[in-house]
Amino acid sequence: MKVWHVVVVVVWCVCGGAVTGGVKEVAIGASECQMKNTELHCDYTDVEQTVRVSTVGVNDPTITRVVLSNARQLEVSVAVCINLTLQAVTQAQVAVDEGQECRERQSCVGDQCEGNNYDSLEFSATNTGLDHIPGWATKIHLDHCRATSLALKNHIQSLYVANSDIKVLDLANPLDEGSSAKLVSTNIHTLQRLHTGPGSRLELRQSTIDVLASQGLVFNGGHVELVSSAVVTVMDKGLALGSRATFHIRGFSGHIQIHVLDNNNEGGCKNSDDIYFWLFIVLVPLMTIILAALILVECVRKRRRSRYLGQSHSYVFHKPT
Ligand SMILES: *[C@@H]1O[C@H](CO)[C@@H](O)[C@H](O)[C@H]1NC(C)=O
């Protein structure tokens, strides 16, 4: 009996603790929040608890943006799929996802999607510390931030980072037509990948990269400017330049070797002229040999056939006597 009492007391303590000391949900009706036109603004100046923004509180098609200010500790759940602005958040923990969930929330028929445009969502933060960037964000704006990882897996439309400190920057996809990245007065510890394609823009101004990884900056097109910036350590082939990119460099400090991309290799293809040449060299003698062999075989067969042609066998059966 005594054991059961202890279990009941323990369970009661755990549940009670979760309710009273737990997490504050961002929601339309919450006391810290108010609607301003279509934007939900929440201020957590006097709140010590962890704040959580999840689909539960903000799944409302009338909200076009959520603005959260002065939280100590913030949790951003996956699939929030909303334009999100953070102001003076001490530490934000962002759940990492691929951004797929946002598209699943839309009613899409083929490529045509109804309702909110989840393909173009903004994440912006000022005076904030954060670990990751939400996977659904395609427009990112950071000012006076500390970020552990800007590992971005989707296609970025715009990336603007100013006065910030970033541990790792890694864009899985090259900046494509119409997209841009601008880093101003920012320190990046490791630049893993930041590639440009045709029609894109990249600008690094008064910024420092401590370590530029191998093939970290690959310019396969677009317009690139490096102004009053520095790269401290460059790995082998850290910066590569293709003929379709324009590259301006001004007030650069440090030593950098520019690896010039072979035009024929830019599209990811092998040097095709070479392949045809070797095919020709190998195929012509091979075809000659095969043809000669075929003629020879045919001749031998004809001869054999003619040798057997005149022969005949006759069998005589005798009736037994
Ligand atoms: C996000 O914000 C942009 C403009 O800032 C707006 O056009 C778009 O509809 C918003 N998206 C959602 C899903 O609210």
**Ligand 1 center from residue 147 Cα (angstroms):** 24
Distance, CA of 77 to CA of 307 (rounded, Å): 89
Residue 99 has a pLDDT of: 61
Instruction: Give the 3-state secondary structure of residue 54.
Output: coil
**Ligand 1 center from residue 18 Cα (angstroms):** 34
Q: Where along the chain do its domains lie?
A: 22-137, 165-281
Residue 10 has a pLDDT of: 44
Mutate to test the pocket of ligand 1, among 35, 64, 113 (most ligand atoms within 8 A of CB): 64
Helix (H) or strand (E) holding 7: helix 2-20
Tokens of 42: 């929440």
Ligand 1 atom closest to the CA of 63, numbered from 1: 14
Residue 119 has a pLDDT of: 77
**Ligand 1 center from residue 166 Cα (angstroms):** 26
Mutate to test the pocket of ligand 1, among 39, 121, 138 (most ligand atoms within 8 A of CB): 121
Phi, psi of 315 (to 5 degrees): -115, 135
Distance, CA of 174 to CA of 217 (rounded, Å): 10
Question: What torsion do the CA atoms of 119, 123, 124, 125 make, to the nearest 10 degrees?
Answer: -170
Tens digits of pLDDT across the chain (321 residues): 455 554 444 444 444 333 446 899 999 999 999 999 999 999 999 999 999 999 878 878 889 999 999 999 999 998 888 999 999 999 999 998 766 667 666 666 666 666 667 778 999 999 999 999 998 899 999 999 999 999 998 899 999 999 999 999 999 999 999 999 999 999 999 999 999 999 999 999 999 999 999 999 999 999 999 999 999 999 999 999 998 999 999 998 777 888 998 765 544 444 556 677 778 888 888 888 999 888 888 888 877 665 554 444 444 445 555
User: Which residue, among 215, 166, 213, 165, has the nearest Cα to 195 in the 3D structure?
Assistant: 215
**Ligand 1 center from residue 64 Cα (angstroms):** 5
Tokens of 254: 């440090």
Ligand 1 atom closest to the CA of 117, numbered from 1: 13
Length of the chain: 321
